[in-house]
Structure 1
Amino acid sequence: MTINTLLLSSSRAGDTPYLEHALPYIEPMTEKARKWIFIPYAGVSMSYDNYLEAVVNGLAPLRLDISSIHQHGDPKQAIRDADGILVGGGNTFHLLHELYRYDLLHLIKEEVAAGKPYIGWSAGSNIAGLSIRTTNDMPIIEPPSFSALGLLPLQINPHYSNYKAPGHNGETRAQRLLEFTCVDPKTPVLAIQEGSALLLQDNKLSLLGDKEAYLFSGVEQEIPVPVGSDLSNLLS
């Protein structure tokens, strides 16, 4: 089996309703996968019940059977029994901490490697890379390791924007990602803007949406990646 993964930069595009912009990307992945398990662990400032409700409402047009992992007494079996895995956004450190806490990281990787669809957004996309070292999030909790699922052999930076507010003297996002490539020049970083997504399917990695992405790798910084690009060369 091959990995079938959709990684959304964000849960919204502009002012659109929750997950609405992503429905055309998600729908093809649900034709055979109707029973989905949602992992809400990145949600820190909301209850998991409320988070689940938002996801169910956002994906209502697809008429999926969605339950949250916190509703199951055996989270590992819930992942095994599901047709697909949804991982929401929020705080990436908390998400990864909980996946380690419940010993779910390796299982998810195994299930996805066996062909189970994986859809993540924001933090849920962050953990699909090699590690969470290029997240934008506050390290509010310390996971045992920064190593993540490694569904892609690279780093991901969702919500990418290199905007610098007038009078602001902090580093831009591009400067932060430069710092990463200084200490790890051999690992590429794909920075994806809000509303865009990465699709890994049939051993092909594609950029979806109407906004270009940016590649950071070694001495190459903020290299524009055109809309619709085939990025499969980054898989080897």
Structure 2
Amino acid sequence: MTVSRRDILSATLLGAAAMVSTVAQAKQKTPLKPMKVSPKRRVLIQSSSRYHNSGYLDFAGDQYERLFGKEKYEILFIPYAKVAGTYDDYEKQVQDAFKAYGHKIVGIHRFKDPQKAVREAKAIAVGGGNTWALVTRMYEAGIIDLIRERVNAGIPYCGWSAGGNVACPTLRTTNDMPIAEPPSFNTFGFIPFQTNPHFISGGTQGLNNETREDRLEEFLWYNKDEEVIGLPEGTALFVTGEYDCEVIGPKDSEALYWFRQAPKGMKLERIPLGTKFDVRKIVPGGKL
């Protein structure tokens, strides 16, 4: 059989059309359904569980005091991001950390019915680890929408690393390897923009490696309607009510990195510790 030049050209055009179609489909996502938010809502989005040479969460006492106030809680802990280890060991590590602050930690894996556990929880904490595993397991347990509903209704929420990343609308700006495949990238959407936890600027000296900025620039090129806030170690966003947010963290922590849409690539602004802003301002053209 002979193949004409016209056949080759037609096949090339069809392949290009298929590629465009694939890209268009890949970019589509199902927005989270609107949900009523209580003025009592309190969400702590933490970059990390450690800061410099600190122990596990022992630098975050002020952050938890902001979140929980003087009340002492029994906190439902979601350990699903843990991969290399057991849920029991992870629960014990978090119990030891929160004991210093007067709170009790109980892992969701202790309950036969995880959905009932979420419905009855007085506060929720989601730990770090692998974000893909975390989201996959939360979907399998049927608790994504339930947690979103309970927290938006007013129970306190804290999450560090992966547990902070899932406070965004999606997990797309995680740093983690995709070791699991969740049915959706959608997460809690407690804030309307994406964050990048554990943010470190620049590459490794002497190595021609890809930087975090490189990856986030690709995200912004592909998603023209979005912006990203990089959270350096130790820093956190404290969200109250529907729109109010404050940058908190240790006194010597870095300013946050606000990666912005630009005609070519991206531009950067910094958000200092103590800044208070409306979360609706983190959009292309927004100003704090």
Distance (whole Å) between structure 1 residues aligned to residue 132 and residue 176 of structure 2: 7
Once the two structures are superposed, residues 172-226 of structure 1 have per-residue CA deviations (whole angstroms, 9 ceiling, x without a partner) of 1011101000011211211110011000013311111232001113114232112
SS in 2 for 1:206: strand
Residue of structure 1 equivalent to 2:62? 24
Q: Among 196, 199, 218, which residue is 2:261 paired with?
A: 218
SS in 2 for 1:38: strand
Distance (whole Å) between structure 2 residues aligned to residue 131 and residue 72 of structure 1: 27
Structure 2 gap ranges (5+): 1-37, 283-288
CA contact (8 A) 1:12 1:194 kept: yes
SS in 1 for 2:54: coil
Residue of structure 2 equivalent to 1:230? 276
CA contact (8 A) 2:72 2:102 kept: no
Once the two structures are superposed, residues 129-185 of structure 1 have per-residue CA deviations (whole angstroms, 9 ceiling, x without a partner) of 011111100111111111111110000100000131123222210111010000112
Q: Among 226, 234, 247, which residue is 1:207 paired with?
A: 247
Which has more radius of gyration? 2
State yes or no: 1:98 paired with 2:98: no
- Percentage of matched positions with identical amino acids: 38
Distance (whole Å) between structure 2 residues aligned to residue 63 and residue 227 of structure 1: 26
Bigger relative contact order, structure 1 or 2 (CA pairs below 8 A, ≥6 apart): 1
Once the two structures are superposed, residues 29-48 of structure 1 have per-residue CA deviations (whole angstroms, 9 ceiling, x without a partner) of 33335121000000100100
CA contact (8 A) 2:202 2:213 kept: no
SS in 2 for 1:25: helix
TM-score (norm 2): 0.79
TM-score (norm 1): 0.95
Distance (whole Å) between structure 2 residues aligned to residue 35 and residue 207 of structure 1: 26
CA contact (8 A) 1:33 1:84 kept: no
Q: Among 11, 36, 54, which residue is 2:75 paired with?
A: 36
Q: Among 219, 224, 228, which residue is 1:189 paired with?
A: 228
**Distance change >3 Å, CA 120–CA 233, structure 1 → 2:** closer
Distance (whole Å) between structure 2 residues aligned to residue 135 and residue 94 of structure 1: 12
Distance (whole Å) between structure 1 residues aligned to residue 67 and residue 164 of structure 2: 16
Compute the displacement of 1:65 (Å): 2.1
1:57 corresponds to which letter in structure 2? D
Compute the displacement of 1:233 (Å): 4.6
Distance (whole Å) between structure 2 residues aligned to residue 70 and residue 113 of structure 1: 23
CA contact (8 A) 2:175 2:196 kept: yes
SS in 1 for 2:158: strand
Distance (whole Å) between structure 1 residues aligned to residue 83 and residue 273 of structure 2: 33
CA contact (8 A) 2:73 2:103 kept: yes
Distance (whole Å) between structure 2 residues aligned to residue 235 and residue 127 of structure 1: 20
Q: Among 35, 45, 49, which residue is 1:11 paired with?
A: 49
Distance (whole Å) between structure 1 residues aligned to residue 42 and residue 137 of structure 2: 23
Q: Among 60, 63, 82, which residue is 2:102 paired with?
A: 63
CA contact (8 A) 1:152 1:235 kept: no
Let me know the Cα RMSD of the aligned residues. Answer: 1.4
1:204 corresponds to which letter in structure 2? D
**Distance change >3 Å, CA 172–CA 191, structure 1 → 2:** same
Distance (whole Å) between structure 1 residues aligned to residue 77 and residue 248 of structure 2: 23
1:207 corresponds to which letter in structure 2? V
1:124 corresponds to which letter in structure 2? G
Distance (whole Å) between structure 1 residues aligned to residue 50 and residue 75 of structure 2: 20
